[in-house]
Structure 1
Amino acid sequence: MSANHGALSAHRPALRPDILLSPPLLRGPTTVHLVKDPSDGSCFAVGVREYFLISRLDGKRSTREIEVEYAAAFGRRLGDAHWHQLLTLLGSRRLLAGAEPPPASPSPASPFSGTLYRGSVRLVADADATTSKLHRALRPVLRAPALLVLLAFCLAMEVVLAADTADLARDTWWLFHQPMALLGVFTLLWLSTVGHELAHGVAARHLGGTVSEIGLRWRLPVAIMYCRVGNYRFLPRRRQQLAIGAAGAFANLLFLLPFAAWWALLEPADPTRRVLSGLLLLGSCQALVNLLPLPPLDGYTMLGHALRVDDYAPQSGHYLRLRLRDRHATAAYPDRARLLYTAYAIGSSVVVLVLAGVVATAACFLLVA
Structure 2
Amino acid sequence: MTTVEAGQAATWARPRLRTGIVLGPGMWRDGKLVHHVKDPETGWYYRVGPREHFLMSRMDGTRSLDDLAEEYATAYQRRLGPENWQQLFGMLHKRQLLHGATDPDALAALAATAGGGAAKAKRGLLSGRLPLFDPQRLFDRVLPWLGPVFSWWFVVPALAVALAVAGYVVWHLPELAGGVGGRPLLAIVVAVAVTWLIVFLHECAHGLTCRHFGGRVTEIGVMWRLPMIAPYCKVDDVVLFTPRRRVATAFAGVFVSMLALVPFAAVRLWGSPGVLYDLAGTMLLFGTATAAINLVPFLRLDGYHMLSHTLNLADLRADSYRFYGRLLRQGPRAVAGYRPRDRAAFTLYGLTSVLLAGTVLTFLIRYWYTTLANWLTPTWAVVILTTEAILLATLITHLTRRRPTPTP
Q: TM-score, normalised by structure 2?
A: 0.76
Structure 1's 230 and 320: CA in aligned 2 closer, same or farther, altered over 3 A? closer
* Corresponding position of 2:175: 167
Unaligned runs of 5+ in 2: 1-8, 366-408
Residue 52 (1) aligns with residue 54 (2): yes
- Structure 1 window deviating more from structure 2 (295-304 vs 111-120): it is 111-120
* Corresponding position of 1:246: 251
Deviation at 1:260, TM superposition (A): 0.8
Structure 1's 27 and 220: CA in aligned 2 closer, same or farther, altered over 3 A? closer
Pick one of 330, 333, 343 that aligns with 2:348: 343
Residue type at the aligned position of 2:31: P
1:1-369 alignment to 2 at 5 Å?
11-100=13-102, 102-103=107-108, 104-105=111-112, 114=123, 119-124=128-133, 126-175=134-183, 178-219=184-225, 221-235=227-241, 237-267=242-272, 272-327=276-331, 328-352=333-357
1:61 is paired with a residue whose SS is: coil
8 Å contact from structure 1 (residues 127, 211) kept in 2? yes
Deviation at 1:218, TM superposition (A): 3.2
Deviation at 1:16, TM superposition (A): 1.6
8 Å contact from structure 2 (residues 187, 275) kept in 1? no
8 Å contact from structure 2 (residues 187, 276) kept in 1? no
Alpha-carbon deviations, 1:48-92, whole Å to 9, x = none?
222222222122222222222222222211123212221122022
Partner Cα distance (1:211, 1:358) in 2: 41
Q: TM-score, normalised by structure 1?
A: 0.83
Structure 1's 321 and 81: CA in aligned 2 closer, same or farther, altered over 3 A? closer
1:211 is paired with a residue whose SS is: coil
Deviation at 1:157, TM superposition (A): 1.5
Alpha-carbon deviations, 1:206-225, whole Å to 9, x = none?
11111011112235553211
Alpha-carbon deviations, 1:269-326, whole Å to 9, x = none?
6564344222101101111221221342011112221111122101201211221222
- Structure 1 window deviating more from structure 2 (131-140 vs 202-211): it is 131-140
Unaligned runs of 5+ in 1: 1-6, 361-369
Deviation at 1:350, TM superposition (A): 4.3
Partner Cα distance (2:271, 2:42) in 1: 55
Higher relative contact order (CA 8 A, sep 6+): 1
8 Å contact from structure 1 (residues 172, 281) kept in 2? no
Structure 1's 79 and 118: CA in aligned 2 closer, same or farther, altered over 3 A? closer
1:22 is paired with a residue whose SS is: strand
Partner Cα distance (1:137, 1:88) in 2: 46
* Corresponding position of 1:367: none
Deviation at 1:358, TM superposition (A): 9.9
Partner Cα distance (1:136, 1:359) in 2: 49
The percentage of aligned residue pairs carrying the same residue is 35
Partner Cα distance (2:79, 2:233) in 1: 45
Partner Cα distance (1:38, 1:354) in 2: 45
Residue type at the aligned position of 2:195: L
